[in-house]
Amino acid sequence: MIETGAQGVHNRVMRTFLLAALLLICLAPRTAIAQSFQLPIDCAIGEVCVVQNYADANPNTGAAADPQCGPLTYDGHDGLDFRAPAALARRGVNVLAPAAGVVLGVRDGEPERAFLDRGAAAVAERECGNGVRIDHGGGWITQLCHMRAGSLRVARGDRVNAGQVLGLVGLSGQTEFPHLHLTLFRNEQKIDPLTGGALADLRCGPRGADAGSHWSAAARQALTYRGARVFSFGFTGAAPAASARVEDLPANAAVSAPALVFWALASGPRDGDVLRVRLYGPDGALVAEGERTQPRDQAQASVFAGRRTPAGGWPAGRYRGVAELLRDGRVLQTRTETMELR
């Protein structure tokens, strides 16, 4: 069609405008695309699961500090560790795509507990274990590590949606506990997943744990720094050694088991904090209690309380375990668990 008069001039102006806008979009730097990352784990952070480790905010080699100068990190750590209680992880905790994108790579088949059972040599050059790497566009890439062997549901080249299940939290690679490690890249540079800032520029302080704008509003709320938490607890019928890994204790409490024990595990306790557990019988009477006063800041600490089974076994009924975390004589948190003995 031939354009004439004012209409033709108007159409030519509009085409010129649209072409200029298209060129601006095409030539814009890759960082211009914003992100709204969701949590990469299907578990309530701060209530059931925790951020066990943040990126190290202490620039000195041989020292470490989390964003608020606490113990929730280790020297040189470069990501976020979303930790699940071991009992929950054994049942299955989904790993989710934090945003839409294309899968750049997948590794599966790395055995569970290799690092725990055989040490660092068993996972050399495969410290991530089983994992997924996703290109989200605009220069944003995430890497998700330590997933359960055989659980991955995606392949290289797959397009994924935000919140899509990728697999399960596991114990593969260099890890001592079930968790998902998130590494974040922007324009081929590794950055702090929490704040979006350069790893080399991290310093701990009151605002050091503010989640960046690349997270969704819901994720920013969930990532609020909580510090020390009691996040894992349970009952066992075994009499644990002082050095026992409490999450590895068997869940075999019974009226005739060798003992009845209630245990609790805290993440990030500070120097002087008190971790206390009490075990009550069906009649409400105190069966046993245990207490630990922190000698220093630690990434984690556990305590347990129990008694050997009396002759004739334990009375049937509901037993109650109570775990408390105290600081300066004030109760910071209380967690309660019950169990029916038959």
Residue 106 has pLDDT above 80, yes or no: yes
255's tokens: 């009226």
Pair (58, 99) in one structural domain: yes
Q: What is the pLDDT of residues 200-227, one digit of tens each?
A: 999 999 888 999 999 999 999 999 999 9
Element (H, E) at 275: strand 274-280
Residue 28 counted as domain residue: no
With contact defined as beta carbons under 8 Å apart, do 276 and 303 qualify? yes
Summary mean pLDDT of the chain = 91
Residue 279 counted as domain residue: yes
Q: Could you list the residue range(s) of the whole structural domain that residue 242 is in? A: 229-341
Please report which confidence band the pLDDT of residue 158 belongs to, taking 50, 70 and 90 as the band edges: very high
Q: What single-letter DSSP state applies at residue 16?
A: H
Residue 265 counted as domain residue: yes
| pLDDT > 70: percent of the chain | 90
- End-to-end CA distance of the chain: give it in Å, rounded: 88
With contact defined as beta carbons under 8 Å apart, do 219 and 195 qualify? no
| Residue whose structure tokens are 């020297």 | 75
Q: Comparing 33 with 161, which gets the higher pLDDT?
A: 161
Q: What is the pLDDT of residues 227-274, one digit of tens each?
A: 999 999 999 999 998 888 999 999 999 999 999 999 999 999 999 999
Residue 157 counted as domain residue: yes
Q: Comparing 16 with 322, which gets the higher pLDDT?
A: 322
Q: What is the mean pLDDT of residues 176-198?
A: 97
Q: Where among 222, 246, 272 does a domain terminate?
A: 222
Strand-pair partners of 307: 260
Residue 342 has pLDDT above 90, yes or no: no
Please report which confidence band the pLDDT of residue 139 belongs to, taking 50, 70 and 90 as the band edges: very high
According to the model, what pLDDT value does residue 4 have?
42
Give SS3 for 170: strand
